[in-house]
């Protein structure tokens, strides 16, 4: 499972059915507790392991079934220390043990769905919702219509829908995807956002440079003074936070019981659990939150889900940003109407015609997939190619840029010469470009992307590159290698 703190319900169900046969693996365990669970499996006392990504290494002699729930979730990729993707590891372990691997999701990753289309995986479809409940009605609120705004990002449409819930004593979830936010310029008149002409990912604004920068190829652009689509001159930086929204909501609905769930309010152990319990016991009327509120919860009295600004995750300079946005919207929409009363979802956006938002409103995974997979094919993005990311960091920017460029040169030398009549050598190098988070903990970060159809070829080039890196003067610059990166940060 992607996250165990948020799925206590599921664990409890397994434990009540299978008791001692269940071993649990998650980051909340002490080393001693972890060892106990490990030993219970070794001794054959536990036959079921439930846990986050590391559970894939449970020491079973023979594995029969591996179930990866919410297989599209990017938290399956461990991005520090030993890097691995638990879903991909599950597939390898399944193959080695001759086990069945079940990847479950209402919004499968495009890599997995593509594999089901090409016959590599078998597709098992569950077309209906449980108890044949109808899918919630999803409506779009156009944020470009400023006359509908009452307070920042709170429109008349959303506020009146919330009022109705308070009168009926039903619950509301307000979702703000803050994590996907990165500084970008947006035209509030038409929703346009500057993209790299070569890479089709959004450009990120760098204050110091006063430039819009592409984080894949390094392309730079002076920030335009007018929108290239509608000539509007009010280009704005989007800034919105859950705390600010909470304040506005409290002022607007002083009698309502309001709570917030995000990284700031869930620092303490058990705080997740407390908020979720209060929600389940109907002690909260309006819950405002980030990604955390989108996962697996089952609150039958939630009849309204409001998405404050669906565009935020579209701004992330990542070729998966459309896919992620669709997944998020579908997940959060799925929180509405899980009880007897039907649910309603309001998605506020500057880009109501954007394909991932339009698809989320019509629950059209397949249509969206087909459109997006064609784009990936055209651009040469996964699943049609593989990426390996080299991330360089140091407190002195010059050094990082200099060392990254020096290694790039070495790698270019190591690339196999093009064969006669062939232009493509199997591996393309992109960068060095500033990382989307160009400064992190006082360090500057730059990256080089290795891109190719054949992972073996990429690995061969990478190996040469790393050998050069060992030999050359590194001047204290740190290099991290990320194969199949899931987050470009």
Q: Which residues bind Zn ion (CB under 5 A)?
A: 187, 189-190, 192, 196, 198-199, 214, 216-217, 219, 227, 229-230, 232
CB of 434 to Zn ion, least distance (A): 12
CB of 388 to Zn ion, least distance (A): 17
* Residue 432: cis peptide before it, omega within 30 degrees of 0: yes
Compare residues 190 and 479 and give the one whose CB is closer to Zn ion: 190
Compare residues 280 and 437 and give the one whose CB is closer to Zn ion: 437
Residue 165 vs residues 151, 159, 168: alpha-carbon distances, Å: 19, 10, 5
Compare residues 92 and 230 and give the one whose CB is closer to Zn ion: 230
Compare residues 198 and 463 and give the one whose CB is closer to Zn ion: 198
CB of 99 to Zn ion, least distance (A): 41
Bridge-partner residues for 220, per DSSP? 213
Number of C-beta neighbours around residue 259 at 10 A: 17
CB of 235 to Zn ion, least distance (A): 8
Phi, psi (5° rounding) for residue 108? -55, 150
Compare residues 216 and 392 and give the one whose CB is closer to Zn ion: 216
CB of 219 to Zn ion, least distance (A): 4
Q: Are 367 and 327 in contact (CB under 8 A)?
A: no
CB of 136 to Zn ion, least distance (A): 31
Residue 315 vs residues 6, 180, 204, 266, 367: alpha-carbon distances, Å: 27, 7, 8, 26, 22
CB of 111 to Zn ion, least distance (A): 22
Identify the CA nearest to 289 among candidates 316, 259, 318. 259
Q: Are 457 and 426 in contact (CB under 8 A)?
A: yes
* Residue 412: cis peptide before it, omega within 30 degrees of 0: no
Compare residues 136 and 191 and give the one whose CB is closer to Zn ion: 191
Compare residues 327 and 351 and give the one whose CB is closer to Zn ion: 351
Contacts of 236 (CB under 8 A, 6+ apart): 185, 186, 187, 188
Compare residues 214 and 309 and give the one whose CB is closer to Zn ion: 214
Pairing of strands 77-78, 84-85: antiparallel
Q: Are 258 and 286 in contact (CB under 8 A)?
A: yes
CB of 236 to Zn ion, least distance (A): 11
Number of C-beta neighbours around residue 330 at 10 A: 23
Compare residues 199 and 304 and give the one whose CB is closer to Zn ion: 199
Compare residues 214 and 415 and give the one whose CB is closer to Zn ion: 214
Compare residues 84 and 319 and give the one whose CB is closer to Zn ion: 319
CB of 143 to Zn ion, least distance (A): 13
Cα of 419 vs its chain's centroid, Å: 39
Residue 355 vs residues 139, 196, 348, 351, 382: alpha-carbon distances, Å: 15, 18, 15, 9, 19
Identify the CA nearest to 416 among candidates 406, 405, 427, 431. 427
Contacts of 430 (CB under 8 A, 6+ apart): 216, 217, 218, 448, 449, 450, 451
* Rounded Cα gap, residues 66 and 82, in angstroms: 21
What is the per-residue DSSP string for 302-371?
A: EEEEEES-GGGGGGSSSTTHHHHHHHHHHHHHTTSS-SSSPPEEEEEES-TT-HHHHHHHTT-HHHHHHH
CB of 277 to Zn ion, least distance (A): 45
CB of 199 to Zn ion, least distance (A): 3
Q: Are 26 and 51 in contact (CB under 8 A)?
A: yes
């Amino acid at each position: 499972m992607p996250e165990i703190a948020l799925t206590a319900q599921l664990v409890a169900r397994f434990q009540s059915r299978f008791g001692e046969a269940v071993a649990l693996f998650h980051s909340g365990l002490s080393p001693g507790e972890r060892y106990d669970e490990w030993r219970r499996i070794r001794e054959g006392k536990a036959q079921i392991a439930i846990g986050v990504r590391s559970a894939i290494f449970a020491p079973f002699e023979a594995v029969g079934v591996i179930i990866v729930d919410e297989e599209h979730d990017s938290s399956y990729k461990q991005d520090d220390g030993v890097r691995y993707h638990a879903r991909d590891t599950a597939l390898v372990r399944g193959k080695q043990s001759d086990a069945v691997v079940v990847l479950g999701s209402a919004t499968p990753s495009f890599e997995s769905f593509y594999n089901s289309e090409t016959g590599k995986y078998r597709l098992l479809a569950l077309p209906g919702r449980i108890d044949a409940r109808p899918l919630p009605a999803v409506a779009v609120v156009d944020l470009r219509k400023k006359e509908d705004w009452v307070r920042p990002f709170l429109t008349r449409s959303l506020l009146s829908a919330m009022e109705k819930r308070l009168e009926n004593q039903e619950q509301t979830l307000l979702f703000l995807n803050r994590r996907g936010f990165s500084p970008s310029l947006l035209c509030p008149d038409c929703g346009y956002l500057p993209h790299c002409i070569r890479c089709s990912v959004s450009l990120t604004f760098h204050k110091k440079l006063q430039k819009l920068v592409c984080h894949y190829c390094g392309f730079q652009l002076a920030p335009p003074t007018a929108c290239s689509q509608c000539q509007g001159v009010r280009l704005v930086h989007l800034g919105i936070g859950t705390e600010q929204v909470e304040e506005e909501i409290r002022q607007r609905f002083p009698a309502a019981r309001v709570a917030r769930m995000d990284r700031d309010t869930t620092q303490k152990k058990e705080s997740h659990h407390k908020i979720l319990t209060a929600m389940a016991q109907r002690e909260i009327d309006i819950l405002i939150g980030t990604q955390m509120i989108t996962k697996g919860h089952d609150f039958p009295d939630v009849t309204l889900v409001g998405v404050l600004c669906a565009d935020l995750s579209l701004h992330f300079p990542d070729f998966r940003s459309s896919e992620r946005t669709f997944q998020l919207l579908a997940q959060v929409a799925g929180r509405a109407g899980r009880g007897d009363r039907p649910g309603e979802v309001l998605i506020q956006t500057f880009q109501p015609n954007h394909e991932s938002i339009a698809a989320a409103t019509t629950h059209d995974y397949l249509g969206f997939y087909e459109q997006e997979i064609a784009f990936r094919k055209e651009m040469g993005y996964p699943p049609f190619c593989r990426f390996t990311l080299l991330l360089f960091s140091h407190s002195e920017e010059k050094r990082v840029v200099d060392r990254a460029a020096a290694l790039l040169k070495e790698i270019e030398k190591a690339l196999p010469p093009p064969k006669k009549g062939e232009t493509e050598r199997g591996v393309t190098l992109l960068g060095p470009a500033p990382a989307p988070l160009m400064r992190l903990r006082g360090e500057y970060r730059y990256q080089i992307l290795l891109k190719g159809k054949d992972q073996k070829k990429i690995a061969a080039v990478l190996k040469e590159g790393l050998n050069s890196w060992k030999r050359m003067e590194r001047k204290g610059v740190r290099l991290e290698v990320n194969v199949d990166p899931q987050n470009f940060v």
